[in-house]
């Protein structure tokens, strides 16, 4: 079942609304990954591999990113 959420706001308006929160969360994720790397890394940990795959998923511009991200992390 495909769920499409329509908004009365334009893409630009939604970006204006969410930009600072998105920027903060991406920065927080980058900082956490930097701390893990500085502590010697965890490249053999499957959780880190899933997070990296999730980061790629977020950039692929395909629909339903939230659903696909949750599915990726739930396996």
**Amino acid 7: pLDDT:** 81
- Give me the number of domains the chain comprises: 2
Pair (37, 65) in one structural domain = no
Pair (49, 59) in one structural domain = yes
What is the spatial distance between Cα 73 and Cα 38, in angstroms, rounded to a whole number?
24
Q: What does each of the 75 residues of the chain score in pLDDT, given as a tens digit?
A: 666 667 889 999 999 999 999 999 999 999 999 999 999 999 999 999 999 999 999 999 999 999 999 999 998
**Amino acid 29: pLDDT:** 96
**Amino acid 6: pLDDT:** 77
In a domain, 26, yes or no: yes
Q: Under 8 Å CB-to-CB from 14, ≥6 apart: which residues? A: 7
Pair (29, 51) in one structural domain = no
**Amino acid 15: pLDDT:** 96
What is the spatial distance between Cα 23 and Cα 72, in angstroms, rounded to a whole number?
22
Domain assignment of residue 69, given as a range: 42-75
What is the spatial distance between Cα 52 and Cα 58, in angstroms, rounded to a whole number?
10
**44 DSSP 8-state letter:** T
pTM: 0.79
């Amino acid at each position: 079942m495909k769920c499409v959420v329509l908004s009365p706001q334009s893409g630009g308006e939604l970006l204006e609304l969410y930009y600072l929160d998105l920027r903060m969360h991406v920065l927080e994720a980058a900082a956490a990954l930097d701390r893990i790397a500085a502590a010697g890394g965890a490249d053999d940990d499957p959780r880190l591999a899933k997070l990296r795959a999730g980061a790629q998923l977020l950039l692929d511009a395909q629909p339903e990113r939230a659903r696909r991200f949750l599915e990726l992390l739930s396996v």
